[in-house]
Homo-oligomer: A and B are copies of this chain.
């Protein structure tokens, strides 16, 4: 990579690491006889999608009709839209369903009624189950609500039940293998209970979150996994324990525009419109919006952590660095920042440059 070409913030990808992350997760799915249906909302890129195809992926997950259309037009034909299906987009889903094997998500009965009244193509229904994250879905223990949806599907010739789907998003707010596994095991036992009391037409069980999929080695009863973040990983996943810093495949290249040698701070061109305002909390209660590393033509070196992003404005980042590092850096240099949440940073940047200078810009539109 030729760093002199980088004039403003660029989201760098280490393709080798990303391909390794894909291969590792795919092998795990194969080993446990799981359907591998990775979530493409993280990268939103037809080019990165091909790295998955190269590793044997043929079924995918997305989070909107817009993203579904983007990937179908890039050659994907078996897609789950893992977002409570939006009744206002029923017409677009009709058009999409004529071209792909479509799975949609139902999270409550009223929503399903509103959607199915306007949707008349073939599709499979995943019932979203709330196993404790408390964002959306039918409570795992609410048999009457499940049966109402099941009955409506059975009355609707173009639809069939695909299975039960859950997202244990509360793994994102804990740290350490033990805590992730506790949530995973709780989630699994709840959704398996759901399946037991509502044994609909060989319904499958699909789980999603990257922490659970990265950490657990025991998937009994699970049929499908839908992790997304793992393709690149990020600082939040390091913090949770899903990966090491050496697995993280993306970092923001950010020009240093000013150095405050009195306060040991760098001002970088790289702000909330590049990294997002997502933060993790450090051991002393400080907000951390990213970690900073030295950057060379070979990429960022995770052994060379120089500090952390302590605050963000629209375009500015303020990086607190150590006393001896501040002597090595000057305005005009460039550093790497590992984002806290790569899904949001990728969505903001709408493009990547790989360490071997491939420019990827044709991401999914908003």
User: Bound complex: CA of A278 vs CA of B272, how far in Å?
Assistant: 9
Is A359 close to B, CB under 8 A? no
User: Bound complex: CA of A326 vs CA of B314, how far in Å?
Assistant: 35
Is A23 close to B, CB under 8 A? no
Pick the interface stretch among A12-20, A103-111, A156-164, A217-225: A103-111
- Name A80-129 residues within 8 Å CB distance of B: 83-89, 92, 107-108, 110-111, 114-115
Is A136 close to B, CB under 8 A? yes
Residues on B with beta carbons closer than 8 Å to the beta carbon of A273: 344, 347, 366
Pick the interface stretch among A189-197, A231-239, A330-338: A330-338
- 26 cross-chain CB contacts under 8 A: A7-B89, A8-B86, A8-B89, A41-B314, A63-B314, A83-B257, A83-B316, A84-B316, A85-B257, A87-B331, A107-B257, A107-B258, A108-B258, A108-B260, A110-B330, A110-B331, A114-B331, A114-B332, A136-B267, A136-B316, A272-B344, A273-B347, A347-B348, A348-B366, A350-B366, A351-B366
- Name A233-290 residues within 8 Å CB distance of B: 255, 257-260, 263, 267, 269, 272-273, 276-278
CB within 8 A of A135: which of B318, B332, B348?
Answer: B318
A9 → chain B closest CB, angstroms:
9
Query: Apart from A7-B86, A114-B331, A351-B366, what are 16 other A-B pairs with CB-CB below 8 Å?
Result: A6-B88, A7-B92, A8-B88, A8-B89, A41-B315, A83-B257, A84-B331, A85-B257, A87-B332, A111-B259, A115-B331, A135-B316, A136-B267, A314-B343, A314-B344, A314-B347
> Contact string, A154-177, partner B, CB cutoff 8 A, digits 1/0?
000000000000000100000000
Is A141 close to B, CB under 8 A? no
B334 touching A88, Cβ below 8 Å: yes
A8 touching B85, Cβ below 8 Å: no
B315 touching A63, Cβ below 8 Å: yes
Interface SS of A by simple majority: mixed
A311 touching B135, Cβ below 8 Å: yes
A318 → chain B closest CB, angstroms:
6
CB within 8 A of A257: which of B111, B314, B332, B344?
Answer: B111
Is A47 close to B, CB under 8 A? no
Known: A314-B343, A331-B110. A84 touches B257 (CB 8 A): yes
* A65, A85, A331: residue with the most chain B Cβ atoms closer than 10 Å: A331
Query: What is the total number of copies of this protein in its complex?
Result: 2
Residues on B with beta carbons closer than 8 Å to the beta carbon of A63: 314-315
A315 touching B83, Cβ below 8 Å: yes
Is A203 close to B, CB under 8 A? no
User: Bound complex: CA of A351 vs CA of B366, how far in Å?
Assistant: 10
A257 touching B87, Cβ below 8 Å: yes
B169 touching A313, Cβ below 8 Å: yes
Residues on B with beta carbons closer than 8 Å to the beta carbon of A169: 313
Is A35 close to B, CB under 8 A? no
A111 touching B258, Cβ below 8 Å: yes
A83 touching B269, Cβ below 8 Å: yes
User: Bound complex: CA of A278 vs CA of B135, how far in Å?
Assistant: 19
Residues on B with beta carbons closer than 8 Å to the beta carbon of A88: 6-8, 255, 332, 334
> Contact string, A54-76, partner B, CB cutoff 8 A, digits 1/0?
00000000011110000000000
